[in-house]
Amino acid sequence: MQTLQTTYVPSTEKSVSASLIFLLAAACGIIAANLYYAQPLVGPIGSAIGLSTGAAALIVTLTQIGYGIGLLFVVPLGDILENRKLIVSSLLVTAAVLTIAAVVKSAALFLTASLVIGVGSVAAQILVPYAAHLSPEALRGRYVGNVMSGLLLGIMLARPISSLVAEYLGWRAVYFISGALILVLALVLGKALPARRPSTATAYPALLLSMLHLLKTTQALRRRAIYHACVFGTFSLFWTTVPLVLTGPAFHFTQTEVALFALVGVVGAIAAPAAGRMADRGWVRPATGWALAFVILSGLLPLLVPTGSAIALPLLVGAAILLDMGVSANLVLGQRVIFSLGAEIRSRLNGLYMAIFFSGGAVGSAAGGWAYATWGWEGALLIGIALPVAAMAYYATEFTKNIA
């Protein structure tokens, strides 16, 4: 396999300011939100473009498929192309396609647009290793954690925001507004971001082939990806099924109330920068144990009392906060580990890491819907607990195999 020979613009502490980190965090949140806006809107969108109830789920599925394609085939380009141009180009395409999605009436065109929106949204995952590159080694976990907190806020706020905007302005307004935001973001980042210019003789096909080699030979990548695939599976399962519980006979929530409930997850984003600081102090291993324990506990809490009891809702709120804290912390800890493996392979490692754990999320979402329909809320929760328990069992091997 051809050897990568890459040089980079030197990174110094002076390269990173608080305002730039804030901009990167906000950008990641605005971009990542595009993956989740459609989740509470599949019903009205499907009706408007002529999709059946069953086929309307393709809107979300194709967006996620597009994101997976982008993680594997676009994000690795960050190791060979100038990052600022790659990010801005991706955002300009995404802004155009969001605007198209806001006006089309054809189901085929809208679904195609959904796929491309997913591909373009991987610009967020080019920005994260870009932030790691700019950060000094001693503060890398903190800076990546701060940027990831922005990304996680975008994910957590996307569903309630899209629900509220659609209720008052219609679902098409969600796509118009997002398209405008992404266009403005592309222009701002084009001006504000410092250049990062990898220089390599490696061709794109060889770059993609090298990802298989990295997956086979990088144990830390595989381990962290498996941990997060499990916890992200629980995250997706919970947020797929809890709206069904809240709107059911036990709580009788309206869609607006469900949107407000989803806002409690925002509290969990505070764990991202805290986890980054712990990683910088060399506490990755104990912090990982705590993150996995939080996710397990989040599944146990709702099982303590019957769903319709007086304290069921407070326990559900506590479960949502613990879940999002555990997932946020574990994500940042994983990225801190893999970003320490080498600047020249960060984009590919990040693409592999994200693709693997997003697959876990897809499995969790599908399993949650099936379990809820078959065994009810308690059955879905048991699957949600089993996933992080499996991760915890694998984590225990760190203490028996002398793993750093």
Q: How confident is the model over 61-119, as pLDDT tens digits?
A: 788 889 989 999 999 999 889 999 999 999 999 999 999 999 999 999 999 999 999 99
Domain tally for the chain? 2
Report yes or no on 131 lying in a domain: yes
> pLDDT tens across 250-265, in order?
998 887 887 888 888 7
Residue 319 and residue 359 share a domain? yes
- The amino acid occupying position 298 is S
pLDDT of residue 160: 86
Cα angle value 373/238/367 (rounded, 5°) = 45
Select from 141, 175, 201 the last residue of a domain. 201
Residue 138 and residue 17 share a domain? yes
Residue 232 and residue 340 share a domain? yes
Rounded Cα distance between 103 and 379, Å, is 41
Rounded Cα distance between 150 and 260, Å, is 19
Report yes or no on 72 lying in a domain: yes
Select from 157, 175, 201 the last residue of a domain. 201
Residue 332 and residue 189 share a domain? no
pTM of the model: 0.83
Kindly give, in sequence order, each residue whose CB lies less than 8 Å from that of residue 371, ignoring residues fewer than 6 positions away: 237, 241, 379, 380, 382, 383
Work out the average pLDDT over 368-382. 90
Report yes or no on 279 lying in a domain: yes
DSSP H helices in 170-218: 171-192, 204-217
pLDDT of residue 3: 41
- The amino acid occupying position 316 is L
What Rg, from alpha-carbon coordinates, does the chain have? 21
- CATH code of 137's domain: 1.20.1250.20
CB 225 within 8 A of CB 351: no
Best CA proximity match to 32, nearest among 218, 272, 192: 272
Estimate the crossing angle of helix 58-73 against helix 107-120, to 10 degrees.
40
Please, which pLDDT band fits residue 200 given cuts at 50, 70 and 90? low
Select from 174, 201, 228 the last residue of a domain. 201
A 10 A CB-CB count for 226 gives 17
Residue 16 and residue 107 share a domain? yes
Residue 98 and residue 17 share a domain? yes
Report yes or no on 211 lying in a domain: no
Best CA proximity match to 273, nearest among 193, 231, 328: 328
pLDDT of residue 26: 95
Q: What b/e sequence results for 377-390 when a residue is b if at least 16 CB atoms lie within 10 Å of its CB, and e otherwise?
A: bebbbebbbbbbbb
Q: Taken in order 34, 35, 36, 41, is the CA torsion positive or negative? A: positive
> pLDDT tens across 118-151, in order?
999 999 999 988 888 888 888 888 888 888 888 8
Best CA proximity match to 290, nearest among 266, 322, 242, 326: 326
Rounded Cα distance between 151 and 272, Å, is 10
Report yes or no on 209 lying in a domain: no
Three-class SS state of 4: coil
Tokens matching residue 91: 């955002």
Report yes or no on 78 lying in a domain: yes
Residue 240 and residue 185 share a domain? no
pLDDT of residue 199: 62
Residue 222 and residue 188 share a domain? no
Give me the phi and psi of 11, to 5 degrees please: -105, 130
Using CA atoms in the order 91, 96, 98, 102, what is the torsion angle rounded to 10 degrees?
160
Residue 233 and residue 148 share a domain? no
Residue 191 and residue 259 share a domain? no
> pLDDT tens across 213-246, in order?
999 999 999 999 999 999 999 998 898 788 888 8
Residue 197 and residue 228 share a domain? no
pLDDT of residue 15: 52
Work out the average pLDDT over 335-355. 90
Residue 223 and residue 345 share a domain? yes
Best CA proximity match to 21, nearest among 186, 196, 145, 137: 145
Report yes or no on 153 lying in a domain: yes
Report yes or no on 208 lying in a domain: no
Range of the domain at 389: 218-404
